[in-house]
Amino acid sequence: MTARSAESDEYPPCGASSALLAAFLRALATLCILISALPAHTAHSIVIGVLAHRPAHEVAQRWHPLAAYLQEELGKGITVRVIALPYDELEAALARQQIDFALTNPSHFIALRNRNPLSGALVTLVPRAQGSGALNSFGGVIIVHPQREDLRTLGDLVDVHIAAVGPFSLGGYQAQAARMVDSGLPLPAAGRLSFVGTPHDRVVDAVLGGHADAGFVRSGVIEGMIAEGRLSAGAVRVLAAETLPGYPHQLSTRLYPEWPLFAAPHVNPDTARRVAAALLLLDADSPVAQALDIHGFSAAADYEAVERLLRSLRLPPFDGAPQFTWHDVWQRYLPWLLAFALSLALLSAAGFRTALLKRRHEQTQRHLAATLNAIPDLLFEVDGDERFIGVHTADPGQLYAPAERFLGCTVAETLPAEVAAVARQAIQEARLRGRSQGHRYALSTANGLRHFELCVARKEGSASTSPSFVCIARDISEAHQTTEALRRERDLFSTGPVVVLNWAPDLSGRVLAVSSNVGAVLGYSAAELCAANVRYTDLIHPDDVIAVTQELQACMNAGPDHFEQSYRLRTGSGEYRWFHDATRISRNRDGAVDAIRGYLFDQTWLKTLELERDAQAAALAKSNAELEQFAYVASHDLRQPLRMITSYAQLLEQELGTTLSGDTRRMLDFVAEGATRMDEMLVSLLEYSRVGRSGAPLSDFPVREALEEAIRFLEPAIAESAAAVEISGEWPHLHACRNELVRLFQNLLGNAIKYRRAGEAPEVHIDASAHPQGWLFSVSDNGIGIEPAQRERLFRVFQRLHTRTEYEGNGIGLAISRKIVERHGGRIWIEAGPGGRGSRFLFILAPRANPTPN
């Protein structure tokens, strides 16, 4: 508290100059008092400081009789003085030991005691009560104008204008403010609170004058004013009145003790005790008490209530931040703390458990999600109305639309018609029987056309809900493809002409399994063939069975693991038909036969053709042989009469001799020449027909040797024509008729030399090389060449392009050459010679084991 605030509490405000003057005078008076009080703590002088709640000289004057009383009571030359000091100066004087005792209001006492090492109160002042005895306690009164019906309770004061004595006035503000705070109400707001100062009558005037809605005054003030005739009874109404039995004044608050008198710390305890005793002994009826207008002094009251009030209002000395120690907190809020701690513990436990449960729940969710995602199938759930209520797939490509699009829609609305029909049938079955499976459908998904197998299970609902259906669609596209491939393969066999048989891996002839086309091909049912008493070998033609059995046995013993043969089999109609059988034998790791499988193909038509062909070939061969025989016989036998013609023509010429005319002689020459020519032709024919009939043996020999032998025969012609013969290429060994190959080379090489260009030496090149059909040989020359159109016919008998006078010959050489080549499985033809000049004769030899017989 400052001096200025203390002054403003005690004195009503006036002009600035007068305030300055007043302050100056007050300071001067205080200085005088303090100077006079300097020896206060001497042994013979006691100074009593009294709070100057009114002008100091008035207060000092009022309490002067007390000083006189104490001086007399204490005796022994002790001087007692009373000085009146405002709040702060009283405290300052106390600190400077300028006063020994102090009489002040209770809240000021609490403030001083809090700031100074004071002892407790020695005595408590007992004022003289109006019309009664003594009162050593007082309280606060809240007054309102009696016509203010709106102001009835403490709560009504919150928003009204209040007049009070001052912030440090216990009866004129603090007691009422504490009552409001204790009632849970806020303190009156600063803007709605006017401190009008002492005397308390000012508050009453403010309320009655309408300057304030309510007023705070000390208890007894109203009764005093009424007694003094300054206020009529009922002029004000007391709000929140408290009735205390025996207490004579109206009250709105609890009671607080009256002013205490206490000793300064430096005062001798004995002196303090003697002062207290003197004061307690002051009689109410004594002239001193009368003069002081007090009842006397009582034993010191308890000022704890005042301290609590100051604390609750946060007034000095408790206006700073409260200094709570943990101990204070512990003591004051122990039950609350315990309850709080318990609640906190319970909350923590609940929170921990919730967090634990949440974590477990999240783990379970994650685990479930991971499990679901690991399932490759498409999962969905539909309700009783076939409406999608859940769709899950780890591969969105299994769907043709986002999963959310299905939710809430029915199967029929969402899926393509054929798929919906399958799904609805499956659901219907599950509705009736609990589950259904094996329903298949194909669907165009984001992954392309896929095949699914559907399994549906009924999921029972609760009492109030109908069952739903959990559906699992498994992508079986791969299995479907395999099945389809197998089916196609089976169809391939079952509809084809090849029957597959599985025989027992022994020689029992039992059929273990057979392809389903057996009926169409063999005329037996699979069951008939696989019957325990049926032996396959019994169906084979008696003429073929031994060969078949032997071949099979040979293979099973050590032979190859497959063989092929044709044999006759009795079909279901009783008819024997030819079948080609490709048999495959498989063995286990130990080499033992574990399966014999046969692939039967009806080749009766082929066999018939073969037989026909063989018959025709045989007939042809026979016809050829007869023809050749005829040619041989004819040419051989014709030579005899021809020789007769020639002989007799010669005899005629000799007999007639010179008698023959020139013409007759020429005619006889023509006869002889014709006969010779005919003989040559017959010799040629004989030669032609002898090819293949000579019985010359076949042998393996180097073909080049045949060529070289031919060259040796032709050496005179080669020499005469100065021919150049060149041989090149790769020459083989062949199994052939050596004489015939010599004759072949002799014919071609002889022609190459014979048909040379006039004046040009023949150049002959003979070559041999491998050919896909056998061995290719060529004889090229630089001769006269052959027109392409003429080439083919020259291989026929007696075909020539030139007269005998141009080139000697009878046209049989190339015919014989073709016959030799064809007997050795080959063919012969003519091309133009190298660079388009001359001729090139080419032939391929592919000799079989036996050249074709004539």
- Residues of this chain that bind ligand ADP (CB under 6 A): 747, 751-752, 755, 781, 783-784, 786, 794, 800-802, 809-814, 839
**251: closest CA among 183, 308, 179?**
179
Estimate to the nearest angstrom the gap between the alpha carbon of 94 and the chain centroid: 87
Question: At CB < 8 A and 24+ separation, what contacts does 836-840 make?
Answer: 837/782, 837/785, 838/752, 838/780, 838/781, 838/782, 838/783, 838/784, 838/785, 839/752, 839/755, 839/780, 839/781, 839/783, 839/785, 839/786, 840/778, 840/779, 840/780, 840/781
Q: How far is the CB of 776 from ligand ADP (least distance, A)?
A: 18
Q: Which residues pair with 500 in a beta bridge?
A: 599
CB-CB contact of 49 with 87 (8 Å): no
Least separation in angstroms between residue 813's CB and ligand ADP is: 3
Smaller CB separation from ligand ADP, 507 or 797: 797
Residue placing its CB nearer to ligand ADP in the complex, 363 or 790: 790
CA atoms within a 13 Å half-sphere pointing along the CA-CB vector of 624: 16
Taking CA 587 as the corner, what is the angle to CA 581 and CA 588, rounded to the nearest 5 degrees? 155
Min CB(732)–ligand ADP separation in Å: 24
Cβ of residue 842: shortest distance to ligand ADP, in angstroms?
Answer: 13
Q: Which is nearer to ligand ADP, 436 or 817 (CB)?
A: 817
Closest to ligand ADP by CB, 378 vs 814, is 814
CB-based closest residue to ligand ADP: 809
CB of residue 798 to ligand ADP, shortest distance in Å: 8
Please name the residues in contact with 765: beta carbons below 8 A apart, sequence gap of 6 or more: 726, 727, 728, 778, 779, 780, 781, 834
Buried-state track 185-196, b at ≥16 Cβ within 10 A, e below 16: eeebeeeebbbb
Assigned token pair, 362: 């999240």
- The count of residues in the chain is 854
CA 56 to chain centre: 94
Looking at the Cβ atoms of 253 and 751, the one nearer to ligand ADP is: 751
C-beta of 474 vs 757, nearer to ligand ADP: 757
**Contact call for residues 776 and 768 (beta carbons, < 8 A):** yes
The minimum distance between CB 607 and ligand ADP, in angstroms, equals 42
CB of 814 to ligand ADP, least distance (A): 4
Nearer to ligand ADP, 607 or 827 (CB): 827
In whole angstroms, what is the distance from residue 50 CA to residue 194 CA?
Answer: 27
Residue 157 or 749 having the CB closest to ligand ADP: 749
The smaller minimum CB distance to ligand ADP, of residues 250 and 751, is found at 751
Q: Is 29 exposed, middle or buried (0-12, 13-18, 19+ CB in 10 A)?
A: middle
Residue type, 175: A
Furthest C-alpha separation in the chain: 239
Residues paired with residue 734 on neighbouring β-strands, in sequence order: 701
Nearer to ligand ADP, 30 or 751 (CB): 751
42 residue type, one letter: T
Nearer to ligand ADP, 241 or 761 (CB): 761
Q: Toward ligand ADP, which CB reaches closer, 30 or 780?
A: 780
Minimum Å gap between C-beta 536 and ligand ADP is: 60
Q: What is the distance of C-alpha 138 from the center of its chain? A: 84
Tell me whether residue 491 or residue 792 sits nearer to ligand ADP (CB atom): 792
Nearest-approach distance from CB 811 to ligand ADP, in angstroms = 4
Shortest separation between residue 728's beta carbon and ligand ADP, angstroms: 19
Is residue 110 within 8 A of residue 101, CB to CB? The reply is no
Indicate the residue among 174 and 839 with the shorter CB distance to ligand ADP.
839
In whole angstroms, the minimum distance from the beta carbon of 685 to ligand ADP comes to: 13
Listed in order, strand segments (DSSP E) in 575-697 are 576-587, 593-602
Residues 135 and 294: their CA atoms lie apart, in Å, by 10
C-beta closer to ligand ADP: residue 108 or 765: 765
Give CA–CA dist 226/210, Å, rounded. 19
CB of 808 to ligand ADP, least distance (A): 7
Q: Shortest approach of ligand ADP to residue 824 CB, angstroms?
A: 19
- Tokens representing 79? 């001087």
Residue 662 exposed, middle or buried by CB count within 10 Å (0-12, 13-18, 19+): exposed
**Which residue's CB is nearer to ligand ADP, number 665 or number 802?**
802
Using DSSP, state whether 134 is helix, strand or coil: strand
Q: Shortest Cβ distance from residue 793 to ligand ADP (Å)?
A: 9
Q: How far is the CB of 713 from ligand ADP (least distance, A)?
A: 15
Q: Which is nearer to ligand ADP, 310 or 723 (CB)?
A: 723
CA distances from 606 to 210, 569, 603 (A): 144, 15, 5
Q: 392 pairs with which residues across the strands?
A: 379
Residue 123 phi, psi dihedral angles, 5° rounding: -145, 165
The encoded tokens of residue 606 equal 């082929």
- Alpha carbons 482 and 598: distance in angstroms, whole number: 25
Q: How far is CA 393 from CA 296, 371, 410, 414, in A?
A: 101, 11, 18, 17
**E strands, 697-759, in order:** 698-702, 724-729, 733-737
Q: How far is the CB of 583 from ligand ADP (least distance, A)?
A: 53
Q: How far is the CB of 829 from ligand ADP (least distance, A)?
A: 13
Per DSSP, the three-state class of 749 is helix
- Nearest-5° Cα angle at 215, 210 to 220: 125
Q: Exposed/middle/buried for 56, CB within 10 Å: 0-12, 13-18, 19+?
A: buried
Of 85 and 794, CB closest to ligand ADP:
794
CB of 567 to ligand ADP, least distance (A): 49
